[in-house]
Chain A
């Protein structure tokens, strides 16, 4: 039964190309989201999907586990609010300026973190992110400290769409942005740069001996992922209006790793699927129980022990060519001490 379906899926995928299949599947999933969860939560899912997609560049394609991406997400959110408060009146100036500024920071942090690899890299990214958290928390005059901050009322009409006033319009805009970034990331992953990145993921030593400046490639991947995370954070601030320093805390850094893993690291659709499942799951959990940490922990343990390839990885193993997921498995087995 499964093998018969698998053959058909495989031949279909061969005909249309896996990338197109992924794109169409994502589009279909996005299309049913507002009906499934309501436009507000659907927008939340899309924001997290953008975040996870950015994160996936460094984890899934670069092969390095960052535990500090909440810093870029949170700074994106704070940056957009602070620049609207003090510098610009237009959202469409504030967002790009914020993203550029946070990207610059991610270059510095990336440079520092990439002095080491593997476990050290994870710990250093975590510590640097906590540094940002502490600063935002302490600098209460500017950031509001533990009270958080809220976005000033702004007009943000795009043609006929009014994303600030209409939740469904917001969802359209953020989905369009997601699809745009999806295409961009797909393009990057298939570019010569993306191929070198994959080579580094498979064997850093070999890539180094082939003459590639490994640090530079990884830094570029890290920066891209920081930039996309910052953009996601900026949109998050617009969506939720109110933000608190917990956006910069390591909890969120962990959550984006989990989202990416649930969906499937190193895949294009994985981050979207992961954030759909994660947001649905966490919303349901917080509604039905006060003790979501226990279930969250159990879910992480279950996924890591049983299905580290994630949903897309599992589907791929079942239905598609094994080749691509082979490299994912390599990534999972990598960094063995």
Chain B
């Protein structure tokens, strides 16, 4: 059940091993690494902005992603439109995130430390996964690639499935959108200010608690979008969320929690590292991210970009 690994995120890695030493093969693998990296960046960005403002590390993030995957599957199944599916996943996880913040996390601020908040989100993760299993069943769903994504694009050196090119483009657009939102809008300014000094923003008469809700919703929606994007690549099955959450933790530890830049660099790096290791020594593909994390911790305990030690 848990055997599907991150490298099988990109089926084709093992099969194509028999025709090595070709430029097109390796460049296609580089692109596979980019796809995985994009997904990891999206997941870790959600984790990181939630952590930045609320100081919570959200263990339910992976299962929020799972909800996104399944909701998009259902919408696509019903309407036949892939983009409606992505939209459905975004809306559903946005609402889910805001609800969670309003109903549960709200009551932990100031009362409990990060330790219990983490456990609370662990409970939420179980509840979400249980509910997904309750609604959609324990066996996975076959997630077909949208019709337009089946064709291959000629990228000069190699041809590559259009859908995966779309994932990379969509991921880039989303990351840019989040960046612009945080840096160019008033709400983004408030969020950044709140990340630096919550009390001060509160004292300036801004409703920080509403800010919390919005940020939790956005973080959850990022996970939900990642879930919808990865659906056609991996399929939908109940442990998908957990499997992606743990490498995302590695990404935020390596990148430095709360660091936007760190998440992007570390996410792309680890995606590439995992796929490339898979090419040369597939047994180590899953382990390599953890080994990399251990090395980074030894050399730079605060992560590659983490100067601030906010959580301690």
Pairwise interchain contact B119-A300, C-beta atoms closer than 8 A: yes
A304 within 8 A of B: yes
Indicate with 1 or 0, residue by residue over A235-264, a CB within 8 angstroms of chain B CB atoms: 000000000011001100010011001000
Contact bitstring A14-49, B, C-beta under 8 A = 1, else 0: 000000000000000000000000000000000000
A294 interfacial by beta-carbon distance below 8 Å: yes
A119 close to B257 (CB less than 8 A): yes
Q: Are A250 and B3 in contact (CB under 8 A)?
A: no
Specify which of A65, A112, A134, A298 is in contact with B123 (CB 8 Å cutoff): A298
Interface residues of B in 39-84 (CB under 8 A from A): 51, 54-57
Binds B, one of A1-9, A86-94, A120-128, A174-182: A120-128
Docked Cα-Cα span, A130 to B108, in Å, equals 29
- B170 CB-CB contact with A under 8 Å: no
The yes or no answer to B242 lying at the interface (CB within 8 A) is: yes
CA distance A287 to B253 in the complex (A): 39
Tell me which residues across on chain B come within 8 A of A301, comparing CB atoms: 104, 120, 123-124, 127
Enumerate chain A residues within 8 angstroms of B298, measured Cβ to Cβ. Answer: 112, 115
Contact B112 A118 (CB under 8 A): no
> Is the C-beta of B297 less than 8 angstroms from some C-beta in chain A?
yes
| Chain A interface main SS type | helix
Which listed segment binds B: A154-162, A270-278, A328-336?
A328-336
Is the Cβ of A119 less than 8 Å from the Cβ of B130? no
Which residues on the B side are within 8 Å of A333 (C-beta)? 111-113
Q: Is the CB of B115 within 8 A of A332?
A: yes
A119-B257, A123-B252, A297-B127 known; A134 and B120 CB under 8 Å? no
Contact of A124 with B113 at beta-carbon distance under 8 Å, contacts A131-B290, A293-B126, A296-B130 already known: no
Which residues of chain B have C-beta atoms less than 8 A from A250's C-beta? Answer: 242, 246
A116, B3: Cβ atoms closer than 8 Å? no
Q: Is B125 an interface residue (CB 8 A)?
A: yes
Q: Which of B3, B128, B250, B301 interacts with A297 by CB under 8 Å?
A: B128
Interface positions, chain B 125-152, Cβ under 8 Å from A, are 125-131, 133-134
Nearest residue (CB) in A for B52 is: A337
**Which chain B residues in 89-132 approach chain A with CB under 8 Å?**
104, 107-108, 110-116, 118-120, 122-131
For A53-84 the 0/1 string (1 means CB < 8 A from B) is 00000000000010000000000000000000
A165 is an interface residue with CB less than 8 A from chain B: no
* A131 and B287 contact, CB distance less than 8 A: yes
A123–B252 Cα gap in the complex (Å)?
A: 9
Q: Is the CB of B113 within 8 A of A293?
A: no
Name the distance in Å between A68's Cβ and chain B's nearest Cβ.
11
| B270 CB to nearest A CB, Å | 11
For B199, list chain A residues within 8 Å (CB): none
Contact A334 B290 (CB under 8 A): no
- The answer on a CB contact under 8 Å between A118 and B287 is no
In the assembled complex, B291 has its CB within 8 A of some CB on chain A: yes
A128 contacts across to B, CB distance below 8 A: 290, 294
Q: How far apart sit A97 and B312, CA to CA, in the bound complex (Å)?
A: 37
Nearest A-chain residue to B287, judged by Cβ: A134
Whether B252 contacts A300 by the Cβ 8 Å rule is no
Check A127/B130 contact, CB under 8 A, given A116-B301, A118-B311, A119-B311. Answer: no
User: Hey, which chain B residues are within 8 Å of A119, CB to CB?
Assistant: 51, 57, 114, 118, 257, 311
Contact yes or no, A335 B113, CB < 8 A: yes
Does A305 lie within 8 Å of B128, measured CB to CB?
no
CB-based contact A124/B293 at 8 Å = yes
Question: Can you list 25 A-B pairs, Cβ within 8 angstroms, ordered by A?
Answer: A116-B301, A117-B312, A118-B312, A123-B57, A123-B249, A127-B249, A127-B253, A127-B290, A127-B293, A131-B291, A134-B290, A135-B287, A245-B2, A250-B246, A294-B131, A294-B134, A297-B124, A300-B119, A301-B104, A304-B112, A304-B119, A304-B120, A336-B112, A336-B113, A337-B311
6 closest cross-chain pairs (CB), A and B: A337-B55, A300-B123, A297-B127, A293-B130, A297-B126, A294-B130
Show the binding face of A for B, using Cβ within 8 Å: 65, 112, 115-120, 122-124, 126-128, 130-131, 134-135, 137-138, 146, 245-246, 249-250, 254, 257-258, 261, 291-301, 304-305, 308, 331-337
With A112-B298, A294-B131, A337-B310 known, 15 other A-B pairs at CB within 8 A are: A65-B115, A65-B118, A115-B297, A116-B253, A118-B115, A127-B250, A293-B126, A294-B134, A296-B123, A297-B128, A298-B123, A298-B127, A335-B113, A335-B114, A335-B311
